[in-house]
Amino acid sequence: MLRGKKIMIFCCFLVIVSMLTGGVAGYYDARLEAAVVPKKKSLDKVKVSKKLTFQEDVINILLVGSDHGAMAGDSGRSDSMMVATIDLKRKELKLTSFLRDMYVNVPGHGRDKLNSAYAYGGETLLYQTIAENFGIKIDKFCIVDFSAFEKVIDRIGGIEMTLEEQEANYLNTTNYISKKKYRNVKTGTQTLNGNQALGYARVRHVDSKKYGIGEFGRTGRQRAVLQATFHQMLKQNPVEIIDIAIDALGDVSTDMTASYIKELIYAVAKMDVSKIKQLRIPIENTYKMSGATAPPCGFVFFVNFKANQEALKYFMFHQGKKQNFAKNYGGTQNIDTFGYSAKEDYNQTIGDSGNIFE
C-alpha cells in the first residue's frame, strides 16, 4: 500500500501454492524464477552501528511504497515505510508502519525526517536509519511503486471501502484521484477501482473520525485498503491469484531470491493469514509535533525512542513484557526536541490508536 501491496502478495500467493499439484506447481515455480531478479546488495549484509534486537525464527521484511512523481510536486521520497514480520515459531503475521515525518538521526546526514533516508541512500540507508533509531534487525526488503498497486486492485474487480463525507468531497475536488473521470466517489460504502483506492490511501489533509488526522489518517486508510485488497484477493480463483501475484512481483525491487520467496510461501501457507496484527510507530502518547520553531526540514514528530524501541521488541519478537510502554518509559516527557518548540501530541483526542495488541 501502498506498501500494503507487498504483504498482500505474500499472503495470497503463499496460501494457494500448497494446494497445487506437482506439475502445476512446477510451472509456477518457473514463472516465479523468471519474475524475480534480486538486487545484488542484500540487507543482511548491511553494516549497522549498534547491537540490534532479533530472533532466529522471526523474519522482518522492509516494505517501501514510493510515488516516483505520482502527483505534481512529489519528491520521490518513500511515501510509506512498513515492516512485515513473519514469526515462524508462533505462526504469526504482523505489519508495522513507521510515520515518515518522525525526526530521526540519519547516518551520515544528521537529523532529518525518516523518509529522507530513502532519498539520500535508498533501502540501505533507510534500514540503517530504522536500525539506529529503533534497534530492530531487518532481514530483507521490497520496494513497490504505487502505480503497480492500481493494477492489482483493478484485476480483482476493485475493493469495497466506506468513505466519510469529507473524504469523498476531498477526493472529488483534488487530484489525489489522478484520473479526472474517476472523481465521482460518494459518501458511504462503495466499490473503488485501483485509481480511486490509491487516491484514498494517499490522503492526509482530511480529518477522519475513524482514522485520525494528518499522517495518522493516511496510515489508517492505507491499512484499511490493504485489508480490503487482501480479502478481495482471497475471493479470486486460486490460479488467478497466483497469476496476479507473479505479475506483481515483476514490479517489485527486492533482495530476495525466488527460492527464498518460495520458502516463505510454504511457511506462511501454514499460518492463519486472515489475522494480521498491526502496530503504528510512534505509539500513542510518545511523540509531539514541532511547534512555532521547527527544524529546517519543516514539520516533524519528536519521538520518545526508548518507549517505541521497547514496544517494537515486544510486538515483533515477544521480548520483554506486555505493558503500558508510553507510561513506563516517560511518555511525552522523555521526548528530545533538540532545542525546537513542540506542541502536545494530538492523537489523544482523535486518531489511530496504534494498539500493539490488535
Q: For residue range 121-139, what is the model confidence (pLDDT) as tens digits?
A: 999 999 999 999 999 999 9
How sure is the predictor about 245, in pLDDT bands with cuts at 50, 70 and 90?
A: confident
How sure is the predictor about 212, in pLDDT bands with cuts at 50, 70 and 90?
A: confident
Q: Which span out of 37-46, 85-94, 162-171, 200-209 was modeled with the highest average pLDDT?
A: 162-171
Q: For residue range 257-269, what is the model confidence (pLDDT) as tens digits?
A: 888 888 887 787 7
How sure is the predictor about 18, in pLDDT bands with cuts at 50, 70 and 90?
A: very low
Q: For residue range 295-324, what is the model confidence (pLDDT) as tens digits?
A: 999 999 999 999 999 999 999 999 999 999
Q: Confirm if 158 and 197 have CB atoms less than 8 A apart.
A: yes
Q: For residue range 44-90, what is the model confidence (pLDDT) as tens digits?
A: 889 898 899 999 999 999 999 866 544 443 435 556 888 999 999 99
pLDDT above 70: residue 36 = yes
Position 28 scores a pLDDT of 67
Position 103 scores a pLDDT of 97
Q: Where do the domains of the chain lie, and which CATH numbers do they carry?
A: 4-145+238-281 (3.30.420.590)
Q: What value does the CA radius of gyration of the chain take, rounded to a whole number of Å?
A: 20
Task: State the cell numbers at 241.
Answer: 491469484
Instruction: Please report, to the nearest 10 degrees, the dihedral formed by the alpha carbons of residues 225, 227, 230, 231 taken in order.
Output: -110
3-state secondary structure of 15: helix
Position 297 scores a pLDDT of 94
Q: Look up residue 311 and give its amino acid.
A: A
Position 345 scores a pLDDT of 60
Instruction: Give the chain's largest Cα–Cα span.
Output: 65
Q: Which residue has 510515488 as its cell numbers?
A: 67
Task: State the cell numbers at 104.
Answer: 530521526
Task: Check residue 346 and give left, alpha or beta (phi > 0: left; psi -120 to 50: alpha).
Answer: alpha
Find the DSSP H helices in 88-145: 116-134
How sure is the predictor about 105, in pLDDT bands with cuts at 50, 70 and 90?
A: very high
Q: How many CA atoms lie within 13 A of 278 on its CB side?
A: 19
Position 235 scores a pLDDT of 82
Position 353 scores a pLDDT of 42
Position 127 scores a pLDDT of 96
Entry pTM? 0.81
Percent of the chain past pLDDT 90, that is, above it, reads 49
- Distance, in Å, from the CA atom of 104 to the CA atom of 98, rounded to the nearest integer, reads 12
Q: Which span out of 33-42, 48-57, 219-228 was modeled with the highest average pLDDT?
A: 48-57
Position 346 scores a pLDDT of 56
Position 215 scores a pLDDT of 82
